[in-house]
Structure 1
Amino acid sequence: MKYTFAFSLIFLLMMMSCGTSKKTKSASAEQPRTQQPKPKAEQPNTIGNTDSEDSLNQETEEVEEVDLSSLNAVERYVYNYAGIAQEEMRLYGIPASITIAQGILESGSGSGKLTRRSNNHFGIKCNGWQGDKVYHDDDEAQECFRKYGDAKYSFRDHSLFLFERSRYGFLFDYDSDDYKSWARGLRRAGYATDPRYPEKLISLIERYQLNEFDKEVLGKTGDTALPKPQRLTLTNSEYYRVKRGDTLYNISEKFNLTVEELKLINKLKSDHIQVGQELKVKN
């Protein structure tokens, strides 16, 4: 009886051992299913980016690189600043060809002493300027000129100089690609005293085909609308109403007065003016 019980106990223990082993094997066989790799369908972006990069590299390779060492001073100036002049044309309607030619002429193709010291490409004098200044011999000894941190701000001031002054308003009535009329008009408006100034601008424009930059802005049809300055309206034909952003300096420039003349006419003791204030602009 004892032997029969012992044998039964051994047999039962063996059966339990086999069952435990099977369960362990079964669990270890199912475990890898939770670590399967992500489907390939989730990876197309990697392939797409590779194709895009290859395409971009091909396009980059197709762009012709400019050997700057092969360009003369004027050509380098055009290369560096034509894009800025075109943007100014879009914003203010001044032909890019005129702006580039003026910059070439007045800055010595960017290598003039004043330009190198101040990034001032158009010889714009201080006249109430609150920014940095440099002093340079011009019509008189040690005249004050505006200094810019970047040349693009000089181009912007040039645009505003023409756009905001009434004496240049008639220029914007010319066709936007009529660089010859613009060149002669600048001289007539008093921009330069050199009687050959228009011919110098026209010669530069035609020699270096600067009018092609105008055509790019105007588009194939040549009828792209460009900004024009608003004609000034006076109250009772003799007064100007001050607007936000006005200063005595820019008002005096609009009406061909000096700041001192404007202050004298209006009996002003300081440069302070207010929006809505009426200033007399004619004697």
Structure 2
Amino acid sequence: MKKIVVFCLLASFMLSCGSKKAVTKKKSTSRTKTEQVVTKNDPRNNSGEEVVNGVEVRITSTDEYIALFRSIAQEEMRLYGIPASITLAQGILESNSGKGRLAIEANNHFGIKCHDWTGDKIYHDDDASQECFRKYNDSKYSYRDHSLFLTQRSRYAALFKLKKEDYKGWARELRNAGYATDRKYPEKLISLIDRYRLHQYDKEVLGDVYVKYEDEIGDFSMYYVERGDTMYSISKKFNISVDELKAVNKLSSTSLSVGQKLRIDKNSKEKAAVASNQQTSIKTVKENRFHIVEKGETLYSISKQYDMTVSELQKINGLKDNALNVGQELQVKPAN
């Protein structure tokens, strides 16, 4: 009996060790999940709050958004050269003034997708279902990542050749470089900047440089070349010569590219208006001196309109009879 008992105890001990080894082996082969994803169970999902400079806040308006992020955008401008007005306008547009899901749940204000991102992530329906977006612990890091995103990609290099004061040029070049597929993206950014006067934050950073830029463009407006434009068509639109247009913009040829910025003398619009008025005056004078024959009209009916006799009309116009043609031009008053 003692031998049997000892044998049972040994067997039980060996089975216990084997079980532990199996568990250990199974545990060691499991894969550690490094990707963190925000789910519907996230406690901030329904709070409507996001983190700004370490503080949870609830943003209810665009004005509040600007007040919270303008200093952050200005600091990014000082460090990376991106106009604060552009950064703020993009943040407002992409995050719905901080009220969008990506902003609230992931502190992502610019809709930047994962790409080569190794940090936390969130999945969100965008161009496709459940696309991967970057997730930040604080909204200020979203602003920093936006600066790095633009400065470290070669396709955005043309942006940094523009003046920092030229927010309209920046808005258009962002679209040209492929930041957004929306054709109206530049106009939306420009509209936000103008509406909320976001360019004032660029001016605060640049100081005298911005004032000099204002003086430089004071007598000029900017025209951005559109598809189908030629130097000739633009010159006609603003009533200036091709040579004047080239001289003002320091161009050596008439070649243009879509999105190219051209300086236009503001006075050219006034010149165009004057020229238009002159053409109207000439037309009016001509209409007073000439009559275009319409269907059903006769020399007699036309003579009555201008208090003339048929003989006078015939004499002035060198007519030998009363025959008229529709569209025929008749002089109704002697030229001065």
Work out the CA distance in 2 between the residues paired with 1:159 and 1:135: 22
Which stretch has the larger CA shift, 122-131 or 185-194? 122-131
Whether 2:114 is the aligned partner of 1:134: answer: no
Work out the CA distance in 2 between the residues paired with 1:72 and 1:121: 15
Once the two structures are superposed, residues 8-64 of structure 1 have per-residue CA deviations (whole angstroms, 9 ceiling, x without a partner) of xxxxxxxxxxxxxxxxxxxxxxxxxxxxxxxxxxxxxxxxxxxxxxxxxxxxxxxxx
Give, as a single letter, the amino acid of the residue that structure 1 aligns with 2:82.
I
Q: Do the aligned partners of residues 94 and 121 (structure 1) sit closer, same or farther apart at CA in structure 2, a change above 3 Å counting?
A: same
- Which residue number in structure 1 is paired with residue 96 of structure 2? 108
Task: Find the residue that maps to 1:135 and give its secondary structure.
Answer: strand
Q: Which runs of 4+ in 1 moved over 6 A?
A: none
**RMSD over aligned Cα, in angstroms?**
2.0
CA drift at 1:122: 0.4
CA drift at 1:223: 8.3
Identify the match of residue 177 of structure 1 among 137, 140, 165: 165
**Which structure carries more relative contact order (alpha carbon 8 Å, separation 6+)?**
1
Work out the CA distance in 2 between the residues paired with 1:181 and 1:152: 25
Aligned residues: 156
- Which residue number in structure 2 is paired with residue 207 of structure 1? 195
Work out the CA distance in 2 between the residues paired with 1:203 and 1:223: 22
Work out the CA distance in 2 between the residues paired with 1:199 and 1:221: 25
Equivalent residues in 2 for 1:58-97, closer than 5 Å: 73-97=61-85
Task: Find the residue that maps to 1:222 and give its secondary structure.
Answer: helix
- Which residue number in structure 2 is paired with residue 216 of structure 1? 204
Query: Normalising to structure 2: TM-score of the pair?
Result: 0.45
Whether 2:136 is the aligned partner of 1:148: answer: yes
Work out the CA distance in 2 between the residues paired with 1:178 and 1:145: 30
CA drift at 1:220: 2.9
CA drift at 1:222: 3.0
CA contact (8 A) 2:60 2:99 kept: no
Work out the CA distance in 1 between the residues paired with 2:197 and 2:86: 11
Structure 1 unaligned regions, length at least 5: 1-68, 225-283
CA drift at 1:132: 0.8
Once the two structures are superposed, residues 124-175 of structure 1 have per-residue CA deviations (whole angstroms, 9 ceiling, x without a partner) of 1111211111110011111111110000100011001111111110111111
- Which residue number in structure 2 is paired with residue 198 of structure 1? 186
CA drift at 1:97: 0.1
Give, as a single letter, the amino acid of the residue that structure 1 aligns with 2:81.
G
Identity of aligned residues (%): 65
